[in-house]
Structure 1
């Protein structure tokens, strides 16, 4: 769009506008003629305070007004400013970023300021998104470097010790060091796998291989593996099914298995020994299937719930078995479920436990 242009007199009242002004502010020449500048362009401050432009608490700091009156004072000086402000357009409030150029000129011995407004809101939005991506990239590099540094150091230390002090008779210490190497390498493998998943999803390269399956039988198969891990900590996994019959569900088995494993493994991590985890399956309506994973662990504080499904976010709650988190698992789960046109969420109460749930469309 061409620049919105308007003329103002020494009182900052509009005397003329171009067609682009009308397109930007949705006001014609007749509607704004002799109106004060701020009122004419829908500035939030005079409209909110129901007063004239120049009389609000903000007006003395307004870069547009200051530019106009500085041009009048210094005659030929050109003013260029970027302003960020909310404006009412058709009674709707919009945050706008304007690049403003103010020029002084005379016509028939009258003095005017020609104001040109370039709407750079979309450009500014893109710039901010790029900055957020750059900040996220820097955060990502820092987190990955930190998360990989610790297990690599552990592997290096344990393997060096084994090479220098290998004692087959002291099998207990040797086994402990091998377990450290094994756990550290597993963490690095999980981190790399998760990073590859995030990259694939964000680049739009995640293609679901859907087919219709018996969801309950599929769920039972997935839980059999998790029950082995749970038994090591004397945790009982119980499957509760609300209905006698479910229609087949169209899904990508590997990806939904990934979601279920992540949610159930998290429940095991944070559950106390000799407790139970309940898996419930029900229909929310004729078109949606809900799966709930309920644990009786420490729960999640309210101030951490909103960030739970964001990349690299981990809670302040420590896992009962001391296991570390990459901070990517739940973010990946969210993207997989949304790719299936479902939703994922959590309800939690500190001291009582958490319920993670996700929906899948039946049809």
Structure 2
């Protein structure tokens, strides 16, 4: 930033001229009074006085401004004062004004960003609290009931212990998902890259979730037959997790007797895009940008009729980004949603 300052001589030129005129008139009048005024020595005196005044004033003003600006650098942390050199700071205050205005604008943007982050942090903490306290209170309630005497009844004891166990399982599920996201963000969870047929992986995901889909009579299908394998290079286990989370979501929020369809398309020479499309509830436009936030709920009622940790889409996003790929979402409320992500094709067939 300091390199943008330019040297200005206007102040020194004008001030030197004023001083020279005043001193010359004073000396000239004195010599004239003594009767010893000579024009050639007087001209030399004028030039010498002007030149000396100019350099002294220019240097002193620059030094003065340098010290003041350096103090701003040090005290206000406007800039790194180690990058500031006296030769770069001059009487050109317009440049400094522009830089200060630019600094103020940048700080304003930073403050606005911090406010957005603070709002997100508060929402996140509230969501974490909600997700954890529900199973905790459930477990606590059943255990306290048993301690109050219900454990004497064998049938009640078994039922309550099973329900408490489910609450503990939900807590473990949430903690494991949070741990996975943290590892993905910090790079501690290393991907095991391999070449595999994405068509087979999708089919195995369908087989795994067939019974879950059958409860709502939702059909899991490809958009077309894929007689030839489509080989991609990725972490097979993590991509299966991505597919599972996306298909489970489509079943959760899909309409009864609906359809979840997956297609695989060539995107560019070395990429494919996998699309998961459903004809379910759809997502309102204002909720789409925040879908991948941890614990973000489209349903603000706070209910979790469908279960889950609330971290599925966040995990999906982190896994895809860990592969240095992109994930997209398109949705029309009341019509359906489409989630899609890219993968790199295998360079060599396995």
- Where on the TM-score scale, by shorter chain, does this alignment land: which range? 0.5 to 0.7
> What is the distance in 2 between the residues matched to 1:321 and 1:282?
34
Superposition RMSD in Å: 4.1
Distance in 2 separating the partners of 1:122 and 1:168: 70
Match for residue 153 of structure 1?
A: 137
2:195 alignment partner in structure 1: 212
- The structural deviation recorded for 1:225 is 1.1
> 1:165 and 2:165 equivalent?
no
Aligned to 2:274: 291
Bigger drift between 133-142 and 275-284 goes to: 133-142
Matched, 1:253 2:236: yes
Larger Rg: 2
Equivalent of 2:260 in 277, 292, 316:
277
Q: How does 1:13-92 map to 2 (within 5 A)?
A: 20-22=3-5, 28-29=6-7
Question: What is the SS of the residue equivalent to 1:306?
Answer: helix
Is the 8 Å Cα contact of residues 298 and 317 (structure 1) preserved in structure 2?
A: no
Q: Give the distance between the partners of 1:269 and 1:280, measured in 2 at CA.
A: 20
Instruction: Tell me if the contact between 1:222 and 1:260 (Cα under 8 Å) persists in the aligned partners.
Output: yes
Q: Which runs of 5+ in 2 are unaligned?
A: 12-67, 80-90
Query: What TM-score, normalized by structure 1, do the two folds share?
Result: 0.61
Higher strand residue share: 1
Aligned mates of 2:246, 2:187 — CA distance in 1: 24
Q: Distance in 1 between matches of 2:146 and 2:337?
A: 42
Structure showing greater relative contact order (alpha-carbon pairs closer than 8 Å, 6 or more residues apart): 2
Please give the TM-score of this superposition, normalised by the length of structure 2.
0.63
For 1:1-363, list aligned pairs within 5 A.
4=2, 20-22=3-5, 28-29=6-7, 139-163=123-147, 164-166=149-151, 167-168=153-154, 175=159, 177=160, 180-241=163-224, 243-316=226-299, 322-363=305-346
Whether the 8 Å CA contact 1:282–1:289 is kept in 2: the answer is yes
CA distance in 1 between counterparts of 2:301 and 2:267 reads: 33
Structure 2 SS opposite 1:297: coil
* Contact residue 272 and residue 345 of structure 2 kept, 8 A: yes
How many residues are treated as equivalent by the alignment?
270
Pick closer, same or farther for the CA change 1:127–1:306 going to 2, 3 Å: closer
Work out whether residues 199 and 230 of structure 2, in 8 Å CA contact, stay in contact via their aligned partners in 1: no
Choose between structure 1 and 2: higher helix proportion: 2
| Structure 1 gap segments, 5+ residues each | 5-19, 23-27, 35-77, 83-96, 100-110
